[in-house]
Amino acid sequence: MALTSKICAYDNHWPAAFTAEQARIAQGLGVELVDIQHVGSTAVPGLAAKPEIDLLAVVVEHRDEAARNAFMATLGYVRGSDLSPGHHFYRRDVEGVRTHKVHVCICGHEQIGRMLRFRDLLRQDSGIRQQYQDLKLRLEAGNREGIGEYLAQKAPFIDAVMDGLSR
Protein backbone atom coordinates (compact mmCIF):
# COMPACT_ATOMS: atom_id res chain seq x y z
CA MET A 1 0.00 0.00 0.00
CA ALA A 2 1.44 3.37 -0.98
CA LEU A 3 1.90 6.44 1.17
CA THR A 4 -0.41 9.39 0.56
CA SER A 5 2.32 10.82 -1.73
CA LYS A 6 5.77 9.79 -2.90
CA ILE A 7 8.73 11.43 -1.15
CA CYS A 8 10.57 13.80 -3.47
CA ALA A 9 13.43 16.31 -3.32
CA TYR A 10 12.79 19.63 -1.60
CA ASP A 11 10.86 22.05 -3.82
CA ASN A 12 11.57 25.78 -3.51
CA HIS A 13 7.88 26.45 -4.31
CA TRP A 14 6.64 24.90 -1.05
CA PRO A 15 6.96 28.09 1.03
CA ALA A 16 4.83 30.00 -1.51
CA ALA A 17 2.26 27.18 -1.50
CA PHE A 18 2.09 27.50 2.28
CA THR A 19 1.65 31.28 2.12
CA ALA A 20 -1.19 30.99 -0.38
CA GLU A 21 -3.01 28.38 1.70
CA GLN A 22 -2.36 30.28 4.92
CA ALA A 23 -4.25 33.27 3.50
CA ARG A 24 -7.18 31.11 2.36
CA ILE A 25 -7.55 29.39 5.73
CA ALA A 26 -7.12 32.55 7.80
CA GLN A 27 -10.23 34.03 6.17
CA GLY A 28 -12.45 31.36 7.68
CA LEU A 29 -10.98 31.10 11.15
CA GLY A 30 -11.57 34.78 11.91
CA VAL A 31 -11.32 35.96 15.51
CA GLU A 32 -10.72 32.40 16.69
CA LEU A 33 -7.30 32.37 14.93
CA VAL A 34 -4.10 33.16 16.82
CA ASP A 35 -1.46 32.02 14.29
CA ILE A 36 -0.81 29.78 11.29
CA GLN A 37 2.64 28.20 10.88
CA HIS A 38 4.24 26.06 8.17
CA VAL A 39 5.25 22.77 9.80
CA GLY A 40 6.25 19.31 8.66
CA SER A 41 8.98 18.37 6.23
CA THR A 42 7.93 20.82 3.49
CA ALA A 43 8.78 23.61 5.97
CA VAL A 44 12.43 22.51 6.12
CA PRO A 45 14.63 23.75 3.25
CA GLY A 46 16.69 20.95 1.74
CA LEU A 47 14.66 18.10 3.27
CA ALA A 48 13.06 15.55 0.96
CA ALA A 49 9.35 15.24 1.73
CA LYS A 50 5.97 14.07 0.60
CA PRO A 51 4.77 17.15 -1.34
CA GLU A 52 1.98 17.80 1.15
CA ILE A 53 1.93 21.23 2.77
CA ASP A 54 1.38 20.97 6.54
CA LEU A 55 -0.20 23.93 8.27
CA LEU A 56 -0.57 24.40 12.02
CA ALA A 57 -3.44 26.71 12.92
CA VAL A 58 -3.54 27.81 16.54
CA VAL A 59 -6.95 28.90 17.78
CA VAL A 60 -8.22 30.41 21.01
CA GLU A 61 -10.68 27.55 21.38
CA HIS A 62 -12.78 25.25 19.24
CA ARG A 63 -15.93 27.38 19.17
CA ASP A 64 -18.15 26.45 16.22
CA GLU A 65 -16.77 23.25 14.75
CA ALA A 66 -19.70 22.78 12.37
CA ALA A 67 -19.09 26.21 10.84
CA ARG A 68 -15.35 25.57 10.60
CA ASN A 69 -15.92 22.17 9.01
CA ALA A 70 -18.28 23.76 6.47
CA PHE A 71 -15.78 26.52 5.68
CA MET A 72 -12.90 24.05 5.30
CA ALA A 73 -15.08 21.96 2.97
CA THR A 74 -15.46 25.00 0.69
CA LEU A 75 -11.64 24.96 0.40
CA GLY A 76 -11.65 21.26 -0.46
CA TYR A 77 -10.77 19.91 3.01
CA VAL A 78 -12.24 16.88 4.72
CA ARG A 79 -12.22 16.64 8.50
CA GLY A 80 -10.26 13.64 9.69
CA SER A 81 -10.22 12.02 13.10
CA ASP A 82 -9.08 14.20 15.96
CA LEU A 83 -5.44 13.40 16.67
CA SER A 84 -5.95 14.14 20.37
CA PRO A 85 -8.31 16.24 22.48
CA GLY A 86 -8.02 19.82 21.20
CA HIS A 87 -6.10 18.74 18.05
CA HIS A 88 -8.32 18.61 14.97
CA PHE A 89 -7.10 17.40 11.58
CA TYR A 90 -8.13 18.26 8.01
CA ARG A 91 -6.80 16.88 4.73
CA ARG A 92 -7.10 18.10 1.17
CA ASP A 93 -6.72 15.83 -1.84
CA VAL A 94 -6.77 17.03 -5.44
CA GLU A 95 -7.65 14.37 -8.01
CA GLY A 96 -6.90 11.65 -5.47
CA VAL A 97 -3.52 13.10 -4.43
CA ARG A 98 -2.96 14.56 -0.94
CA THR A 99 -1.79 18.17 -1.23
CA HIS A 100 -2.37 19.75 2.19
CA LYS A 101 -2.90 18.86 5.85
CA VAL A 102 -4.12 21.28 8.50
CA HIS A 103 -3.67 20.74 12.22
CA VAL A 104 -5.99 22.99 14.25
CA CYS A 105 -4.87 23.12 17.89
CA ILE A 106 -6.14 25.16 20.80
CA CYS A 107 -3.67 27.56 22.47
CA GLY A 108 -1.38 25.76 24.86
CA HIS A 109 -1.77 22.32 23.24
CA GLU A 110 1.44 20.32 23.69
CA GLN A 111 1.65 19.49 19.97
CA ILE A 112 2.11 23.15 19.02
CA GLY A 113 5.49 23.47 20.70
CA ARG A 114 6.50 19.97 19.67
CA MET A 115 5.80 20.58 15.96
CA LEU A 116 7.56 23.95 15.98
CA ARG A 117 10.61 22.72 17.94
CA PHE A 118 11.06 19.70 15.65
CA ARG A 119 10.73 21.87 12.52
CA ASP A 120 13.23 24.40 13.88
CA LEU A 121 15.71 21.69 14.90
CA LEU A 122 15.59 20.17 11.40
CA ARG A 123 16.16 23.62 9.91
CA GLN A 124 19.18 24.24 12.15
CA ASP A 125 20.89 20.83 12.42
CA SER A 126 22.01 19.37 9.09
CA GLY A 127 23.09 16.09 10.70
CA ILE A 128 19.70 15.39 12.24
CA ARG A 129 18.00 16.59 9.03
CA GLN A 130 20.04 14.07 7.01
CA GLN A 131 19.33 11.23 9.46
CA TYR A 132 15.62 12.01 9.30
CA GLN A 133 15.64 12.14 5.50
CA ASP A 134 17.49 8.83 5.29
CA LEU A 135 14.99 7.24 7.69
CA LYS A 136 12.00 8.54 5.72
CA LEU A 137 13.38 7.19 2.44
CA ARG A 138 14.13 3.78 4.02
CA LEU A 139 10.63 3.61 5.50
CA GLU A 140 9.04 4.55 2.20
CA ALA A 141 11.03 1.87 0.35
CA GLY A 142 9.99 -0.83 2.81
CA ASN A 143 6.43 0.32 3.41
CA ARG A 144 3.72 -2.33 3.00
CA GLU A 145 0.81 -1.04 5.10
CA GLY A 146 0.52 2.63 4.09
CA ILE A 147 0.69 5.92 5.94
CA GLY A 148 -0.15 4.53 9.40
CA GLU A 149 2.85 2.19 9.28
CA TYR A 150 5.09 4.98 7.99
CA LEU A 151 4.06 7.40 10.76
CA ALA A 152 4.41 4.76 13.48
CA GLN A 153 7.91 3.87 12.30
CA LYS A 154 9.02 7.53 12.21
CA ALA A 155 7.74 8.20 15.73
CA PRO A 156 10.62 6.60 17.70
CA PHE A 157 13.18 8.80 15.88
CA ILE A 158 11.15 11.95 16.49
CA ASP A 159 10.55 11.00 20.13
CA ALA A 160 14.27 10.35 20.70
CA VAL A 161 15.24 13.68 19.14
CA MET A 162 12.61 15.57 21.12
CA ASP A 163 13.58 13.79 24.38
CA GLY A 164 17.17 14.86 23.73
CA LEU A 165 16.05 18.49 23.44
CA SER A 166 14.28 18.42 26.80
CA ARG A 167 17.38 17.28 28.68
Q: What is the dihedral of CA 83, 35, 157, 53, to 10 degrees?
A: 80
Question: CA–CA separation, 78 vs 37, rounded Å?
Answer: 20
Maximum pairwise Cα distance, the chain = 45
CATH number of this structure's domain 14-165 = 3.30.460.10
pTM: 0.92
Mean pLDDT of 117-124: 96
Closest to 26 (Cα-Cα) out of 72, 61, 65: 72
Closest to 51 (Cα-Cα) out of 101, 104, 125: 101
110-124 and 126-142 are packed helices; what angle lies between their axes, rounded to 10 degrees?
Answer: 110
Mean pLDDT of 112-134: 96
- pLDDT over 90 (residue 38): yes
Q: Could you tell me the pLDDT band of residue 167, with boundaries at 50, 70 and 90?
A: low
Question: CA–CA separation, 80 vs 86, rounded Å?
Answer: 13
Residue 30's region, left for phi above 0, alpha for psi from -120 to 50, else beta, is left
**Contact between 51 and 42 (Cβ < 8 Å):** yes
CA angle, 35 as apex, 59 and 158 as ends, to 5°? 90
DSSP run (H or E) holding 91? strand 87-94
Domain chopping of the chain, boundaries: 14-165
- pLDDT over 60 (residue 15): yes
